[in-house]
Amino acid sequence: MEQFLKYGVLGAYILCCLILIIYAYHYYIITLVFLKKHRKKRDENNRLVEEFNNNRANADYPMVTLQLPIYNEAEVAVRLIKSAMNLDYPKDRFEIQVLDDSTDETKELIDNAAIEIETKGFDISVVRRDNRKDYKAGALKHAMQFAKGDYLAMFDSDFIIQPDFLKRSVALIHPFENVACVQGRWEHLNRDENWLTRVQATALDAHFATEQGARYYSDLCLNFNGTGGIWRASAIEEAGGWQGDTLTEDQDLSYRVQMNGRKMVYDFDLKCPAELPNNVVALKSQQRRWAKGSMETAIKLLPQIIRCKNLNFSQKVEAFMHLTHYIGAPIMVLLSILTLPMLHYLKQIDAPVGLLIFWAVAMIGAFAPGFMYGCSGYVVHGKLSSFRSFPSMVALGTGLCINNTMAVLEAWRGKKSEFVRTPKSGSTANKSQKGRYKAISGKRLAVMEIVLGSYCLYTFCGQYLSLSKNCLYGFFIGAYAFGLIVFGMTTLKYIIQAKKLQV
């Protein structure tokens, strides 16, 4: 029994490491692909934009509907709506649709802003429903029946629309009938507000530069990120329209249109600045929705993707890696639990050469995210400062593992949950402020993080105190301890402060 338990633990530990290694080396591959191809493709997109807009008469631009879904966003709703007035696009060739599901004072703010904008000659309407069925997906589906445009540009409430957005995005979709959507690159209004926004900005730069870029440049499947993009209305209808059976309706629709034979375009230089969550609890809320929705989409669509004749083998493989990448969270939790018994049993055997080689491969893989973050930051900002964020990135990745694991498990169980929007505060580069909306905070989850973090800390200290000849194994358990304890303590601090404010 003891032998069975020993090799069972070692086998499970190796299997967990192997899964994480596969996803880690995937980061290396897509980063190298991005670095090799991004300049040529960016130049091509810039050329297409210039040619389309050169000497084009106003009447020749297609009609676009700008859709702005909002739900109780008093801090930022007016800022978003008014930014639409700065668009460098013929005023009579676009309309503004505010999709308002709000139940608080945001409704009055939106109505006042709409009246002000209308007096300046803009075509604006406020679309409301008598329920929130299917949440954002339902609001988008409902509003489509009133849209005048052949193209639908979408922005969430925490964004500020840039003047060149329509002229640039329309140039990349209108001339190409097979293009369903153009996705822009998120930038960050409050990047330097605190350590958490800086590390989020580094992570999102990697997604929007490297991941989206590498997929697009290699003709692989990519996704619309829910905002900062423009859709061909007919492509949405052909793929079955907006559907609210997952929490990531954007990702769901993206894959359905690509299975339907349409293409999606990513434009690195289509900049879309937005606000980042500025506290741990708001970030957790956002990540729970993304993790659960991504896994729900994987469960819903992967069987269809595998059978789809419109997708080639490489596209199917990348779709699998993309839709299942949140599986890393429960694997990390399991790995953190297994490390202590693994170290105990490893002391009793002589590690074979093969295991040493495997561990070396795992160690190299552990630096893959840092490589991607650093290279992405260099391309986006022209400097190597993102490499300095690696310790904070480790804390972010490990600190969120329980939070995201719970979301993934809910998706596997088929448990449905409400679409919980991420609270915004209206912070920018020049102004940091606390919003009136608070994220849902879980004390039980924070306690679990601290308990598991303490267990990891015990494991980390124990392996070094033992001076085992195999002390390198489990080295990164220290990172798990750091991240989990930091996130758990920070969450508890937020909950306590929020309760004091209520009193």
- Active centre residues (catalytic): 101, 250
Residue 139 neighbours by CB under 8 Å, 6+ apart: 69, 99, 101, 127, 129, 132
Amino acid symbol at 8: G
Q: Which of 185, 147, 153, 145 is nearest to 89 (CA)?
A: 153
Residue 47 neighbours by CB under 8 Å, 6+ apart: none
Greatest CA separation for the chain: 80
CB 111 within 8 A of CB 81: no
Residue 7 neighbours by CB under 8 Å, 6+ apart: none
Tokens at 342, concatenated: 């693994």
First-to-last CA distance in the chain?
Answer: 56
Looking at the DSSP bridge assignments, the partners of residue 66 are 96, 153
Measured at the CA of 265, the angle between CA 25 and CA 27, to 5 degrees, comes to 10
**Burial track 251-261 (b if 16+ CB lie within 10 A, e otherwise):** bbbbbbbbbee
474 φ/ψ angles, rounded to the nearest 5 degrees: 80, 15
10 Å Cβ neighbour count for 48? Answer: 17
DSSP assignment letter at 87:
-
